[in-house]
Amino acid sequence: MSEIRAEALLPTGNLAADLPFFTKTLKMRLDAIWPADNPAVAILSGHGLRIRLDAEAPGEGGRLRILAPDPDGFADGQRRLTAPGGTIVDIDALDPPVHKPQTDHAFVVRRLADKAPWVIGRAGMRYRDLIPTRLGGAIIASHIRVPDGKVPDMVHFHKVGFQLIFCYRGWVDVLYEDQGDVRRLHAGDCFIQPPRIRHRVLESGDNIEVIEIGVPAEHVTEIDHDMHLPTARYRPEREWDGQRFVHNIGKDARWQAFRLPGFDCRDTTINANTKGVAGVQVVRRGRGAPVWAVHDSDILFGFVMDGALTLEGEGEEPRRLGPGDAFVIPPGMRTRWSAPTEDIEILEVSLPGAFETRLMP
């Protein structure tokens, strides 16, 4: 059976000069050339790519991107080159570091009743954007539903600085690299997916809903075609970019006083396991009366899971919030969580994990 190949066609206006450029400067290999007496076509390969330089092809030279571990050392420090035959070549980093844009602070309220559209995203899941401004690209918060409980997923990973999966309703089964067999997430449970950990969603129950937080807002998802899950090794202490995998089970948590009077919280251990990158608390009604306060966290996000409260903010109209509503309180803004119902339950996510709250008289 003959082998099927694919190649990229690049017109060239100077094949003779292109050959040393592609073989020496770009470090590609010459595989074929013809006709012998006056070459017009050359096939080259390298860096996972096969190209066809064709002097008789119409049009100008094409464009290539070469991704190198050391882009500054690949072509004598040049990041953009033009081949003699007209092809433009960009040299870039193979694995650039994750860049978090500076936070564009804002007071944000997103109500479920506002009828924000549910869009079809990766693997057929439905997404509702909880922070439309994304604070200048610093964060994305999504309310996700899986309509039929089946996810046509593949082993993949995210090039991200921080990622939280919190199960709001239902259950979902996921496989994770070096974390044993299937992990089932129930309502009230959460995962921290460290940067680049391979994982695969298997299936979920009917009406599954999760809250997903990603930092920064735009990040790359890559498919790993070679890894099979579950992996043979179980390594609960393994770190990815300094973060450990977390599977926090809500029913086993211990409650303690929250940073704001009138509320209690349960810690998800995420602050400790991300070495302070982020903190995640589940908050409920406690003793005492709510008070005004300010904080200095770069990002402070809240999602109302049950019950209701009134969010008061200096210079803002009070908002009565209920299940499915989300909010962001910027640093330095005076706010109060007032008139909470006894069944109030809020998911709070902060970046960084530790920050100061100052109570106001």
Rounded to whole angstroms, the Cα distance separating 150 from 161 reads 28
Q: Which pLDDT score, from 0 to 100, does residue 2 have?
A: 67
Rounded to whole angstroms, the Cα distance separating 284 from 220 reads 35
User: At 162, which helix (H) or strand (E)?
Assistant: strand 162-169
Residues 6+ apart with CB under 8 A from 113: 325
Q: Which pLDDT score, from 0 to 100, does residue 1 have?
A: 52
The count of C-alpha atoms lying within 13 angstroms of the C-alpha of 50, restricted to the half-sphere facing its C-beta, is: 7
Rounded to whole angstroms, the Cα distance separating 89 from 97 reads 22
Q: Over the stretch 174-183, which tens digit does the pLDDT of each residue have?
A: 999 999 999 9
Local structure of 265: helix, strand or coil:
strand
- For residue 330, give the nearest of 163, 100, 138 by alpha carbon: 138
CATH topology of domain 8-93: 2,3-Dihydroxybiphenyl 1,2-Dioxygenase; domain 1 (3.10.180)
Q: Which pLDDT score, from 0 to 100, does residue 119 have?
A: 83
Q: CATH 3.10.180.10 in the chain, residues?
A: 8-93
Provide, rounded to the nearest whole percent, the portion of the chain with pLDDT above 90.
87
pLDDT-derived band at 148 (thresholds 50, 70, 90) equals confident
- Kindly report the CATH number that applies to the domain delimited by 117-248: 2.60.120.10
Rg (CA), the chain: 26
Q: Over the stretch 218-243, which tens digit does the pLDDT of each residue have?
A: 999 999 999 999 999 999 999 999 99
Residue 354 buriedness (CB in 10 A; 0-12 / 13-18 / 19+): exposed
Rounded to whole angstroms, the Cα distance separating 335 from 18 reads 65
CATH of range 252-359; options 2.60.120.10, 3.90.1150.10, 3.30.2130.30, 3.20.20.370: 2.60.120.10
Residue 221 buriedness (CB in 10 A; 0-12 / 13-18 / 19+): exposed
Q: Which pLDDT score, from 0 to 100, does residue 328 have?
A: 98
Whether 301 shows a pLDDT value over 60: the answer reads yes
- For residue 183, give the nearest of 160, 200, 198 by alpha carbon: 200
Q: CATH 2.60.120.10 in the chain, residues?
A: 117-248, 252-359
Rounded to whole angstroms, the Cα distance separating 53 from 59 reads 12
Our measurement of the distance from residue 20's CA atom to the centroid of its chain's CA atoms, rounded to an integer in Å, reads: 41
Local structure of 326: helix, strand or coil:
strand
Whether 149 shows a pLDDT value over 70: the answer reads no
The count of C-alpha atoms lying within 13 angstroms of the C-alpha of 67, restricted to the half-sphere facing its C-beta, is: 6
Going by the DSSP 8-state scheme, the letter that residue 150 receives in this structure is: B
Provide, rounded to the nearest whole percent, the portion of the chain with pLDDT above 70.
98
